[in-house]
Amino acid sequence: MNNQARPSRASQRPGKKKAGRGSVVKRVLLWILGLFVLAVVAGACVFFYYASSAPKISRSELASQTTTTIYDANNNVISRLGAQKREYASNSEIPSTLKNAVVAIEDRRFYKHHGVDPVRIMGAAVADITHRSSGMQGGSTLTQQLVKLSVFSTSDADRTLKRKAQEAWLAINVERHFSKSQILGFYINKVYMGNGVYGMKTAAQYYYGKDLNELSLAQLAMLAGIPQSPTYYNPTTGNTKYATQRRNQVLDAMVRSKYISQSQATAAKKVSIKDGLDPDHGNTSDNSVQVKEKVVDSYVKEVLSQLEAKGYNPYTDGLKVHTNLDLSAQKHLYNAANNSVAFQSDKMQTGVAVVDPNNGQIIAMLGGRKTGNVVYGLNRAVQTDRSSGSTVKPLMDYGPAIQYLKWPTYKSVEDTKFVYPGTNKVLHDFDNQYKGTMTMREALVQSRNVPAIRTLQTVGISRATKFLKGVGISQSKAYTLQNGIGIYVSPLQIAAAYAAFANGGTYYKPYYINSITTQDGNTITYSPSGKRAMSKATAYMITDMLKGVFTGQGSATKANLSGVYQAGKTGSTDYPTTSHPDGEMDSWMAGYTKNYSIAIWTGYDHPMQAGSGITKAYQNTAQLLYKNLMQYLDSKNHATNWSMPSTVEAVTVNGTRQLVIKDSKWALGVTSSSALSSSSSSSASSSSHSKSESSASDSSSESRPSSSSSSAASSSSESSSSASSAASSAPAASSSASQQQQPAQQPAATGQ
């Protein structure tokens, strides 16, 4: 009986076990709760810490137009995005149908939240995970969007936790101080609507030539749908597929929100998206800027591209963008290309880039001429689909020879028959002649093809490629020998590369934008640092040789300017076969002073069409445009002559001033008084371009310099050569039209 009354041990143990398990679960739950509370507190602390530094926002900022303004280097306004005037719509002018359409598609819970909508955030997250959408995407409310448009940018760099916290805080405060109707009005008047138009009242005029209260349901739905992507949903484009889809999406959203009936939506969907569009854009007009749009078109186009590459939306971010543009130089360039300098026809085009050698700033650019009403059209200054011709010789052939082999300017080079290795293709020059042995200086000044290719062959493709890369030029495909007389490159690349010669060997990546100021007052300044691309000796020796291009036997005598210390190189390309008799395909002029580097391409956009070759009379156009522009620029900022670096020594070889690197083997084989010479000159026959030629006394052939070292003398021996000369009176430019096709199927580079 006693045993029955006493609880057994077995009966006690299970109870203890249950109590133990409950205690563990309770502890875990308490820990989870504690961590949750801690996370909430920490998050709140972080939120309020970031929110405390949020910028101020006022009614004027909420109501103002978010126009991005672009300035030149002297703070002149050159462009405004949103240039059309904006008509501000009062609350009474905004139809309730438009308000309903905006709310339905952008923020259907607009009237239920207080600036930030947790439900919307969760819904957006689920939609992203499940790849489903019901007409509302993203977690930002209309109020948050308004705040972003008013004080923040859309740059990727600004999409931080701090910025999102500030955005949410400001949205909550906006909701406290303004009614829903006011907030909706601010948004409708501020949002970007494409084609430079801000605000839906202005958009109604621009697209339909009507006031908002005159628009149909279909038209109002179209306006409400545009802000998400003004480019894709533009109803005035040729492809209206996306605009139609977006309008119908807005109508469906309005049905779901019970703002309209299904029958109303169906009827509106049947209306053509083109219905009612006004080609004259109503009564919208442009705000004044300090320069005609066409004059700065190509430059502004590249600025916009750079802004987008940096993560900004120039159409909605309301930026102040200060550029490096010299407006006076830009105006002069535009007028010269369109009016002052003669071109073969209005279809003959040009691409021009001007760079400051001392910092890489792009101070002027022209992407074309006689472009009509085209805005943001083809920018030929940055296109890389035309061959450089001989402008590449200092960059790929002779520059590397000095940099890596330490050649002196009097180094002997051979202008004799050359067959591309592994082929039967014979390389010819513009005059179909071979001049024998000549100095590197003569070969570069006279722009002889064969010596250039032989020099590249000696240098090697790998070292030449390295040199090109150092001055900002590269391509995915490996270079070949024939690239020594022509590569596909843009005028901007040539101008920036030649700038390294001008400043003593430092390459600066060219850039347009000096600073960007966002709506919240944050300013970012850009000033890229340069990288040493070559020695001072190489830069100076190339420059010294290229000075001769403008005089005597040089190929750029038409660009010569008295009293201007400049160096430069011409370039031209012939057609790949003799079946196109119209002239040259491309004609280039690139030159520089210590203050400016200019590269100019001229030619036709469709060179294979009949009548698209540059005839002899206009093969100097690039030179004449260069001369016109450089004369103006140097008058503004006159450049001094270059100073010879301590690593270079001037010597006299055969009566001609030459240069040699002091620590090279070549310096041992020559003295400053070397005077042995046996010069000869020969009159060159007329080329296939009927180019007249005359000999020049200062370019007589070089003989062996006196030497105290037999090995050095052997290396630097200069054989007697025939002097050749380029035209000094006839239009300069091209090498032979009869030049044979090169191994690769590309335009044949000529010798000039």
CA neighbours closer than 13 Å in the CB half-sphere of residue 205:
16
**Any residues with CB less than 8 A from the CB of 528 and at least 6 apart, and which?**
360, 508, 509, 511
Helical residues (DSSP H) of 566-673, grouped into ranges = 621-636
Query: What's the burial of 682, exposed, middle or buried (CB within 10 Å: 0-12/13-18/19+)?
Result: middle
**Residue pointed to by tokens 């143990």:** 13
99, 142 in Cβ contact below 8 A? no
Catalytic residue among 61, 87, 106, 649: 106
Q: How far is CA 53 from CA 162, 170, 576, in A?
A: 9, 11, 65
* Contacts for 739-742: CB closer than 8 Å, 24+ residues apart: 739/428, 739/429, 739/430, 739/432, 739/574, 740/425, 740/426, 740/427, 740/428, 741/425, 741/576, 741/577, 742/420, 742/425, 742/427, 742/482, 742/576
559, 546 in Cβ contact below 8 A? no
Tokens (6 digits) for 417: 């028959």
Distance separating alpha carbons of residues 495 and 591, to the nearest angstrom: 8
Q: How many CB atoms lie within 10 A of CB 107?
A: 23
User: Known catalytic residue: 106?
Assistant: yes
Q: How many CB atoms lie within 10 A of CB 106?
A: 25
Q: How far is CA 371 from CA 292, 412, 656, in A?
A: 14, 48, 48
Edge-to-edge order in the sheet of strand 349-355 = 362-366, 349-355, 597-603, 584-592, 567-574, 748-749
493, 384 in Cβ contact below 8 A? yes
User: Known catalytic residue: 23?
Assistant: no
- Encode 435-457: b = buried (16+ Cβ within 10 Å), e = exposed: bbbbbbbbbbbbbbbbbbbbbbb
532, 505 in Cβ contact below 8 A? yes
504, 648 in Cβ contact below 8 A? no
Q: Which residues pair with 573 in a beta bridge?
A: 586, 749
Catalytic residue among 79, 390, 597, 707: 390
Distance separating alpha carbons of residues 187 and 145, to the nearest angstrom: 8
Active site residues: 106, 390
